[in-house]
Structure 1
Amino acid sequence: MKSIYSMATNKSNKSHMHLINSDENILQVLEQSNRYLESNKDLSSRIRSLLSVFHSLEDLMPQTVEKFWSGHMFPIVEANSELENSIMLCKLGFYKHAFIALRSVLELGLLSVYWDIDGRSHVDIQKWLHSFENTQRKKTMYTKLKTNQNFRKFDDKHEIFNELDNIFKQLSDFVHTKGRSHSNMDLGNSTCNRFNEKSLLKWSELVIKVAKSVIILHILEYPVALQYTPIEQKFGINGPAGTFLEPYQVERIRQFFDKDIVETLQDISDNDLEAKSLAQWVSEQPDISEVEFQAQIEEFEKRHETLKE
């Protein structure tokens, strides 16, 4: 009788590495995952919403003259990349590694606000950015964040740091393979990837928790996020780089969270002097005229064509 290994390696495998887990098998899992998500509209809609809100954090990051090209955005850009990696790994049936990628998303999201808690990320991040400094321990980061009143106020009501610890622990158990229940074997792909509804649903539960935590951290750090700042209405396509979200992005954030969380975050935003000052500055700007807006578009298209030549 042929072994599982010999039967698997006799199959067509584009990698030609004699792997038990063939390319074709993984693509079959992808098809099953996509069919499952298509038939579960609420879940797929939730993930799309999560991605949209998470991606908007890059728009929120301040892009001052000092910070521009400093690398201060690296943690959140990398977090966005790892989030998409986690989604693809899950859809391909690499469930354990999808959980491991989620841990990176959470850690990078925490680092993003940690480095900028004093508004000096363009300076403070440099040693770590260039790999001359180890990644900070989360307890060190918590201590620093708690010096900010917005984080303290939110933590008093919702215990954000306990929630972060709980999520870190759940994800770290997959990183360190805490027994069979956190292994490839138990997640449904010990030798060959198989679609596993239970593993996908467990991942979906944690990806939402991770995304919510990272988004909350950034709103607490940049509370102008929940203020009304109609940038396109005021500046067209030549608005300030970073710092502000468009009203539709703010609405997506509000829809993504439960009412009690939104109320606390809004209260913090409304009582933050810098957030109110920034929002007032935007509101005081005149609306861009249709003629000015069209001129911006034409200029943009000219530059784009020049770059293509």
Structure 2
Amino acid sequence: MDVKKAVIPAAGLGTRFLPATKSMPKEMLPIIDKPVIHYVVEEAIASGIDDIIFVTGRSKRAIEDYFDESPELQMHLKEHHKDSLLKMVEDISSMVDIHYIRQKEPRGLGDAIMTAKKHISGDPFAVLLGDDIIVNDVPCTKQLIEVFQKYRCSTIAVEEVPREKVSSYGIISGKPIDDSLCILEDIIEKPSVEEAPSNIGAIGRYVFTPEIFDCINKTSTGVGGEIQLTDGIRLLNEQQKVYAYRFAGQRYDTGDKLGYVKAIVDFALKNEEMAPSIREHIKNVLGSGF
């Protein structure tokens, strides 16, 4: 029952970042010098995952290229004795076993996960959305895996969200076990503020038992005319316990413009080389009354 496989859905169109995402997957947008998806893969590896299935679309070839070998670039770096850069590039292509499945059309998160069913082969697995970066000493996915190993039930990561943003999340109600864990009672996809049972929203990290596939398969199209993962979780919760866990860590929603900019600023401030200049620039901006 060890969780060694992960599905990373990355087939969305990225319309919030048009026109940049017309030719570049949103998951490849850089945070300083590394794309968002690199941080997601690093989290999976640090959580004990050794087999990753990317669910991509027609416009996502850049993700495959990024994690593939780059013979011409590697040869150039080698010839110019840029050993540290060479090692960095080589490490990217050997991080973990990666497989790719194409979602033929964007029909929702639930449909994207369904495409990975054959590869999962009846094992428990993690799901990491490709536009959420979560920073903590203990990776968010590892935190979920630890809950799963204790209770042997599907576990979803949740956090408190602003009331005005509940319509952007799957919102839960639950029976508390302790300050960070509850047994799921219900989950509603993108409710209005009036309909929301709480302001606790599911974010882009999950650990599932394989029964989730049958539940997704039984759901019909939901909000937005898509196959919603939330509806599958709701059905799974009728058959077996599902836990909601308030993870520890700082989450950056890089699929949102403001969240993306916050990630860049915070990561720059943590960079030893850049931090002094960035702090000075921020002081100058604030001092100018901008």
TM-score (normalizing by structure 1) = 0.29
Normalized per residue, the structure richer in helix is 1
- Structure having the higher strand fraction is 2
Q: Which structure's CA Rg is the greater one?
A: 1
